[in-house]
Amino acid sequence: MLWDSIFHQYDIRGIYPTQLNEETYYILGCALATYLAVDKIAVGHDTRLSSPSLFKALIKGIISQGVDVVSLGLISTEINYFASGKYGFPANAIITASHNPAEYNGLKIVTRGVVPLHGDFGLPQIKKLAQENNFSVSAKKGKIVKMDILNDWITHTLKFIKPNKLKSLRVVIDAGNGMGGISWKKLIEKLPIEIIPMYFEPDGHFPHHLPDPLKQENVSDLKREIVNQKADLGMAIDGDADRIFIVDETGKQLSGTITTAILASYLLQKYGPSPILYNAVCGKIVPDSISANGGKSIRTRVGHSYIKEYMKKENALFAGEHSGHFYFRDNFFADSSTIAGLIFLEYLSKENMPLSQVAAKFDKYKSSGEINYVVSNLSKQAGSDIVIQSIENKFKDAESIDHIDGLSVWFPDWWFNLRASNTEPMVRLNMEADSKEILDDKLYIVENELNILGAHKNE
């Protein structure tokens, strides 16, 4: 049951020290080395208070199986992806719990070429090995070699823009005491803009706020500072720096959909026609913008493991998600908050108008944002499946229905997506309409149907 509680669709994650601890990570190190059957694994960790000791325990498990370790030290998830793509390590692992509260920790794993392990590939096998815990110590332990890659990473990020094309923008960046600050601290001296740092120092106590920009209370400091500093824009970075959210000069946060549309438009203008991916929850302005700029739009399911895979198949230039993940072909098809931020700064410099005016051009549709509904009195998977199937039956007269990710129901002037949470007994609703009146009317109808089925808004 303990192993069941920490293995999830995209990663390993749980509360320290009750759900996972140093013993857990030693066993995971053994299981990882055994399953991957490689000669070397690169390992890094984030700033969480438990990360250094879990890092040591994981490495101890790996080398006990005769596998060498490249110690990358304190890094972000985006830097871990870069290390995988740049240096071609057989596998990479990073100890991180992303944006979760301080008591959490976790593990993300990729194989050569930034291929993530997930619930359909790799993680079930590692879980089985960990449960069996039948490891013998190798007669020859693996070696540990330290490697500092931060400067190489900074050089890589700067290849995505022409720094001399940036205008003298004032930018407030809130790293939330997570891992994003280590990159931007280096970039301050290399860019002709004024960066106003907020909470750049990594600190696992997260003393100011949690590094989760999806929750509005965690972006309030940034919004206030943008207005106080008369800044041109702001950026909020999540805990392991693989997600970014943009805030305009008035303190209004851009949705992941609008940021995806802006970046897609600019990259197509810059590099020419190419496939662009976006997930099933992004709004209609994304395919509209891709088509308007000569790109081929491809809608895909939510989740970095799937998007990385589909990007490689399509050789896509860029991909965006509503959740603030932005992926780049020239970044080994991986997501990066820093690269997305730099490209956005170059775009805004070129536009030469306030960000609020730029964003208004893309803000054509009205959106509900993501609303979570708790599914009552039923098991997580069965309850969610019943709710989603019942909603599909209620709206079978729709113009079209698809199941790219959960349920998407399309009408001429509105649409919605309903999908199950991978980790909780919840369904997630996203709705978009051509006007606020239509949105309010249809949201009331769908919410009423969900309530009848026993799914109630998670306040």
Per residue in 70-114, pLDDT (tens digit) is: 999 999 999 999 999 999 999 999 999 999 999 999 999 999 999
pLDDT tens profile 399-413: 999 999 999 999 999
**pLDDT for residue 441:** 98
Q: Looking at this protein, which amino acid is placed at residue 61?
A: G
**pLDDT for residue 421:** 84
Average pLDDT value over all residues in the chain: 96
* Secondary element (H or E) of residue 69: strand 68-74
Provide CB contacts within 8 A for 29, sequence distance 6+: 57, 58, 59, 60, 61, 62, 63, 64, 65
Which tokens in the block code for residue 210?
Answer: 């949690």
pLDDT tens profile 432-451: 999 999 999 999 999 999 99
Name which of 446, 448, 451 is nearest 430 in CA terms.
Answer: 446
Cβ atoms of residues 264 and 286 within 8 Å: yes
Which tokens in the block code for residue 165?
Answer: 């094309």
**pLDDT for residue 377:** 57
Cβ atoms of residues 96 and 46 within 8 Å: yes
Model confidence at 19: pLDDT above 90: yes
**Residue 1 banded pLDDT, cuts 50, 70, 90:** low
Residue 329 to residues 84, 266, 319, 349, Cα–Cα distance (Å): 14, 15, 9, 23
DSSP lists the bridge partners of residue 341 as: none
Taking each helix axis from N to C end, the angle separating 285-292 and 256-271, rounded to the nearest 10 degrees, works out to 10
CA distance 217 to 235: 15
Model confidence at 380: pLDDT above 80: no
Percentage of the chain lying above the pLDDT 70 cut = 98
Model confidence at 381: pLDDT above 80: no
CA distance 112 to 363: 39
Q: Name which of 25-39, 169-183, 380-394, 396-410 the model is least confident about.
A: 380-394
Active site residue 274: no
pLDDT tens profile 121-140: 999 999 999 999 999 999 99
Q: Which of 51, 76, 84, 98 is catalytic?
A: 98
What global pTM score does this model have? Answer: 0.96
Across residues 192-216, what is the average pLDDT? Answer: 97
**pLDDT for residue 384:** 86
Model confidence at 22: pLDDT above 80: yes
Q: What end-to-end distance do the CA atoms of the chain give, in Å?
A: 29
Q: What is the Cα 356 distance to its own chain's centre?
A: 24
CA distance 124 to 118: 8
Name which of 122, 112, 101 is nearest 8 in CA terms.
Answer: 122
| SS3 state of residue 372 | strand
Across residues 331-347, what is the average pLDDT? Answer: 98
Total residue length of the chain: 459
CA distance 391 to 346: 43
Q: Name which of 23-37, 90-104, 241-255, 378-392 the model is least confident about.
A: 378-392
Across residues 171-191, what is the average pLDDT? Answer: 98
